């Protein structure tokens, strides 16, 4: 769902912080720069960028960088997240990021912004990854 952000709103601050984090992206192989920021229930904001590695599997996306920073600081109640890239295509979280988002809050609000194409949308983690693997899946008996 698209909507207008109010000036000075928490959403606007999340987008600002994600844009700022995007400038720190380390992407010498793809050239794609992504920034993300996550808001914890206590009002703390944690931002991250994508970090590539010549061994591609060791790279880390901006979304997971931001979430891992929050969790490493003791914040596990996550409320919303912004993801900023050049276009709609580059603001789609990968499957691993979607799984991490759902782990910490299936109803995590996601605001996606494309800087070049003006794309802006809002969704939730559970809509991005329906029927996700979750902690209750671990207790299921066969």
Domain assignment present for residue 53? The answer is: yes
Tell me whether residue 102 is in a domain: yes
Burial class (CB in 10 A: 0-12, 13-18, 19+), 59: middle
Instruction: Decide if 4 is inside a domain.
Output: no
Domain of 89, in residue numbers: 10-138
Cβ atoms of 39 and 14 within 8 Å: the answer is yes
- Indicate whether 77 belongs to any domain: yes
Per-residue pLDDT of the chain (142 residues; tens, 9 = 90+): 233 445 567 889 999 999 999 999 999 999 999 999 999 999 999 999 999 999 999 999 999 999 999 999 999 999 999 999 999 888 999 999 999 999 999 999 999 999 988 899 999 999 999 988 877 777 766 5
Cα–Cα distance, 113 to 122 (Å, whole number): 9
| pTM of model > 0.85 | yes
pLDDT for 97 equals 97
Determine which one of 20, 63, 88, 122 is catalytic: 63
- Asked if the structure places residue 2 within a domain, the reply is no
Q: Can you give the pLDDT at residue 137? A: 77
Q: Is 77 noted as a catalytic residue in this protein? A: no
Asked whether residue 3 is domain-assigned, the answer is no
Q: Which two tokens stand for residue 9?
A: 């709103």
Structural domains of the chain, count: 1
Q: How far apart are CA 12 and CA 33, in angstroms?
A: 20
Residue 111 in any domain: the answer is: yes
DSSP letter (8 states) at residue 34: -
Q: Which helix (H) or strand (E) holds 47?
A: strand 45-49
Supply the CATH number for residue 37's domain: 3.40.140.10
pLDDT of residue 136: 74
């Amino acid at each position: 769902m698209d909507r207008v952000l109010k000036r000075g709103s928490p959403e606007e601050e999340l987008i600002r912080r994600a844009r700022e984090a995007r400038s720190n992206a380390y992407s010498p192989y793809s050239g794609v720069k992504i920034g993300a920021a996550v808001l914890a229930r206590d009002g703390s904001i944690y931002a991250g960028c994508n970090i590539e590695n010549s061994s591609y599997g060791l790279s880390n996306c901006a979304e997971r960088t931001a979430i891992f920073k929050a969790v490493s600081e003791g914040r596990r109640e996550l409320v919303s997240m912004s993801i900023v890239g050049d276009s709609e295509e580059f603001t789609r979280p990968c499957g691993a990021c979607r799984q991490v988002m759902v782990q910490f809050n299936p109803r995590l609000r996601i605001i996606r912004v494309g800087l070049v194409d003006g794309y802006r949308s809002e969704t939730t983690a559970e809509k991005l990854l329906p029927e996700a693997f979750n902690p209750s899946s671990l207790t299921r008996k066969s």
